[in-house]
Amino acid sequence: MGAGIIGAYASRADGAWLHEEERPGPGWHRHDWKPRRLLVLTDRGVGVATVLRRRWRLHGTTTTRLDRSPDEVGRRHVVLLVLLVKLWAWLSSGLGVHAYDELHPALEGHGSRRTVQRWLSAVLPDAVRLQQALRTAVIERFEPQPVERLFPGGLSPPDGIRRRRWKDPERIYALATGLVFLHRGAEAGAASRTVLLALARRRLDGPLNIASA
């Protein structure tokens, strides 16, 4: 898993993480911090982190702007890595959403099975973009070794995915393939899941749809 987060944060004395981007433009001034508590999965296990996002205010007005962390996914109280790990546990299992086991048992109490279904629906519109970004990240990190070493039997969605009937199979297959790159790339030592996901996020053309849902 690595550090469990893809953003770069400063750390406060009380352990909170600070996220501040560049000043939005002339006339914008630092106003305050807006806290957000997020569930994080690291090599040490599951924990809750407080992220303080910088809020800016345009001088002479009541207009404000908030710097959102790249680990946030809309109103959900989990970081992006946790969301994708929970989706992969379901998709790779070959079982129904109410029957699969979590890859990390500590995640069982975070995000109901119905919630995971909603997460899948939200991320599917960006499945192809995410797949392409993850594939590129893994290939570049794995060079100069041939990427075929990661997939000696070829690359295809797990049998459990192909056996099930999905409303949108093409996007499901694309998402599953992207997650195969993420997890197998990390297992093969290309980089941690956190690093691979961070590299992929930078390559995305625009934000993930799930971040605004």
Local confidence pLDDT in tens for the 213 residues of the chain: 888 899 989 999 999 999 999 999 999 999 999 999 999 998 888 999 999 999 999 999 999 999 999 999 888 999 999 999 999 999 988 888 888 999 888 898 888 999 999 999 999 999 999 999 999 998 888 887 777 777 766 666 666 677 677 888 889 999 999 999 998 888 887 789 999 999 998 887 666 767 654
What pLDDT, on a 0 to 100 scale, did the predictor assign at position 75? 86
pTM above 0.85, yes or no: yes
pLDDT at position 2 is 83
Residue 153: predicted pLDDT: 64
Instruction: Provide the pLDDT for residue 143.
Output: 81
What angle, rounded to 10 degrees, do the helices at 169-187 and 193-203 form? 130
pLDDT value, residue 156: 63
